[in-house]
Amino acid sequence: MRFDQSFLDEIRARLPVSQVVARKVKLRKQGREYIGLSPFKQEKTPSFTVNDQKGFYHCFASGEHGDIFKFLQVTEGLSFPEAVERLAAEAGLEMPRVSAQAVEREKGRDRLRDAMEAACRYFEAALRDIKGGKARDYLQRRGVSREMQESFRLGYAPGGRHGLKEHLAEQGFTQEEMAEAGLIIAGEDIAVSYDRFRDRIIFPIRDLRGRVIAFGGRALSGEVQAKYLNSPETPLFHKGSVLFNAGAAREAAHRCGSVIVAEGYMDVIALAQAGFAHSVAPLGTALTQDQLRQLWRMASEPVLCFDGDEAGRKAAYRAIDTALPLLEPGYSLRFMFLPQGQDPDDVIAAEGAEGFAALLGEARSLADVLWMREVEGGVWDTPERRAALEDRLAALLREIGHKRVRRHYGADIAGRLNALWNAERERPVPGGTRGRETRRPWVGAGLAGTRERTGREALRAGRFRRDQMMGGASPSLRRSALVSGRMVTGSREALLLLTLLNHPWLFEDHAEEIAAIHFENKAFALLRDKMLNLQTGDKPLDSGQLRTQLSREDSGAVVAQVERAITHKSDWFAEAGASRADVETGWRQIVALHRRSVELKKELDAAERAFRAEGSETAWARLA
């Protein structure tokens, strides 16, 4: 439903943000704003602010930002229309009138809801009746308590073809209404309509307000083709937009800050019975984008629970592909893989709720499972194979819609790639020697930037060969300390930062590379992070604006330290007046030199440790 902007503004005018937020957050007045502890993340120092004049809240801990409608959506899992309806009532406003056609459509949906409710009661009664003995036995074998049966409104569809149809006709419902609700199968080519669900345990599917909108049925006979059967698409039910148990789970999810996504109805019921009330399931299909958005309204990192077999892994991988374009700061997925061949109720039966909770605590991040998918079983012993992996990962990065999330994934993947290449170089090769001693492959910098050679000869003097690296650089750049080898780590790190301060346009094409740079100076690393956050936002800053904002964030002293550390005036590509071509060339060189210097230091440290531990000639030769 669309709302007129003036109506929404009137609600905002009548309900200050602080009034709505104060029901869930203890606020303290500070100047023109209110502050309090984040309702989205555990913290000891308040980072959550509310500004009534501007009409929004902002959480620095989680990045959450919004108005009164967004606050109810995020903290209570309401849809936008539900939040508007709730707040309009609090503000003493009537909801807007809708057109006559819309009124008629809603009356029709109300009629279908009545039919679904009548059918649900029929199924519930049949489960308790003598006809439901077989269904009750099945539920007892599965360990479903009477309390859970009533809570989930489980039922039984008898085996006859017309029982439900005749019952609903007695209640005054027409065959057209029954067919539109998906309760009977009818059509021009069907002489006599008949019940859709027959000899099945019935699982009512309810909307967020607890109203029955569809059914799922589990066959009790092994002879039927479809073990599980769902209602078809109807005016009330769109399978890709609904989660089983979402209405009951969302309150529990907001209390505990998490939501579990299981694979089926029985999994959810078993979890709820074991105390995991914050459990839901898709309806027999892969997760959709609509379902993911609904999950993120319940919790920032839903945990997807899969079997540990190949089918479970494939389902997890499909969920990743669905999620990547939707990722936002603070919102992701975690993945829990059960022992192969076991369902949640198998784990709970064997190890109790504590055992399941322990597995839940070991859930893996989306980044971990994405990496596992791409590298599992791979061999990276040739440049072509390594390049193919980098290409696949780069393509996945492009799927991430949010700029800052994409940048951080790029940095994460770059680090993983570097570790993988280093492990490959350390891998023993035939003849008993280690790969590091017998070959010097080109090492991809992954998704973070340029390619570097690993030969030590070019680096012992602290620089690369000029004829290989300088290309068409200007005479000024050729005379710089960067090229002449007069630069040590501290000043090189300062030069990197000064170049970024004076030429922030570099962030446009090099954000992932910048995020992956290692700084020994922790203050410099923090300054880099602040610049990244400022420059990869919605409105990139120029050099002057960047320095001003950094000063406001108490980084002015570090900026001054960076500028003092540069003593070689010939390194003028970092200065504000340098040409774009010189800046690009100088930037590539300083990044390549710095990264290789870091790699070489790691190699030397490893060689020293090996020599101290072994004292062998091989270890000495490696160190030398």
Say what the pLDDT of residue 381 is. Answer: 86
* Same-domain pairing of 251 and 150: no
Say what the pLDDT of residue 429 is. Answer: 54
Say what the pLDDT of residue 427 is. Answer: 63
Say what the pLDDT of residue 512 is. Answer: 76
* Same-domain pairing of 470 and 613: yes
* Same-domain pairing of 554 and 490: yes
Asked whether residue 509 is domain-assigned, the answer is yes
Say what the pLDDT of residue 616 is. Answer: 54
User: For 264-317, what is each residue's pLDDT tens digit?
Assistant: 999 999 999 999 999 999 997 889 999 998 898 888 899 999 988 888 899 999
Residues of the chain with pLDDT > 70: what percent? 84
Asked whether residue 622 is domain-assigned, the answer is no
Average pLDDT over residues 592-600: 80
Residue 477 has pLDDT above 60, yes or no: no
Which single residue is written with the structure tokens 């609600």? 11
Residue that is last in its domain, among 237, 252, 275: 237
Residue 540 has pLDDT above 70, yes or no: yes
| More confident call, 505 vs 437 | 505
- Separation CA 574–CA 496 (nearest Å): 8
The 8-class DSSP code of residue 366 comes to H
User: For 65-94, what is each residue's pLDDT tens digit?
Assistant: 889 999 998 888 888 888 999 999 998 888
- Separation CA 60–CA 43 (nearest Å): 11
H-helix or E-strand spanning residue 33: strand 33-36
Residue 567 has pLDDT above 90, yes or no: no
Say what the pLDDT of residue 64 is. Answer: 86
Residue 165 has pLDDT above 90, yes or no: yes
Asked whether residue 117 is domain-assigned, the answer is yes
* Same-domain pairing of 267 and 347: yes
Average pLDDT over residues 104-118: 91
Residue 446 has pLDDT above 50, yes or no: no
Say what the pLDDT of residue 536 is. Answer: 65
Residue that is last in its domain, among 237, 266, 283: 237
Strands 200-206 and 155-157: antiparallel
Residue 441 has pLDDT above 50, yes or no: no
Residue 610's nearest CA partner among 602, 624, 622 is 622
Residue that is last in its domain, among 176, 202, 237: 237
- Separation CA 151–CA 518 (nearest Å): 55
Query: For residues 407 and 447, is the Cβ–Cβ distance under 8 A?
Result: no
Which single residue is written with the structure tokens 């090769």? 429
Residue 434 has pLDDT above 50, yes or no: no
Asked whether residue 442 is domain-assigned, the answer is no
Residue 164 has pLDDT above 80, yes or no: yes
User: For 33-62, what is each residue's pLDDT tens digit?
Assistant: 899 999 888 888 898 999 887 788 998 888
Say what the pLDDT of residue 609 is. Answer: 67
Asked whether residue 444 is domain-assigned, the answer is no
CATH code of the domain containing 44: 3.90.580.10
Range(s) of the domain holding residue 189: 100-237
User: For 174-200, what is each residue's pLDDT tens digit?
Assistant: 999 999 999 999 988 888 999 999 999
Asked whether residue 443 is domain-assigned, the answer is no
Burial grade of 226 (CB within 10 A; 0-12, 13-18, 19 or more): exposed
* Same-domain pairing of 226 and 327: no
pLDDT band with cut points at 50, 70 and 90 for residue 484: very low
Average pLDDT over residues 464-486: 43
| More confident call, 477 vs 164 | 164
Residue 226 has pLDDT above 50, yes or no: yes
Average pLDDT over residues 481-505: 72
* Same-domain pairing of 599 and 457: yes
* pTM for the full predicted model: 0.61
Query: For residues 446 and 389, is the Cβ–Cβ distance under 8 A?
Result: no
DSSP string covering 492-506: HHHHHHHHHHH-TTH
DSSP string covering 312-340: HHHHHHHHHHHHGGG-BTTB--EEEEEST
| Alpha carbon of residue 387 to chain centroid | 26
* Same-domain pairing of 583 and 531: yes
Say what the pLDDT of residue 7 is. Answer: 84
Q: How many domains does the chain have?
A: 5
Say what the pLDDT of residue 442 is. Answer: 32
Q: Name the 3-class secondary structure at 291.
A: helix
User: How big is the chain by its Cα radius of gyration, in Å?
Assistant: 31
* Same-domain pairing of 313 and 383: no
Q: Which two tokens stand for residue 606?
A: 């490893």
Say what the pLDDT of residue 466 is. Answer: 36
Residue 121 has pLDDT above 50, yes or no: yes
* Same-domain pairing of 470 and 431: no
Say what the pLDDT of residue 573 is. Answer: 78
Say what the pLDDT of residue 582 is. Answer: 80
Say what the pLDDT of residue 6 is. Answer: 74
- Separation CA 240–CA 250 (nearest Å): 18
* Same-domain pairing of 211 and 317: no
pLDDT band with cut points at 50, 70 and 90 for residue 490: low
* Same-domain pairing of 220 and 259: no
Residue 459 has pLDDT above 60, yes or no: no
Average pLDDT over residues 414-436: 69
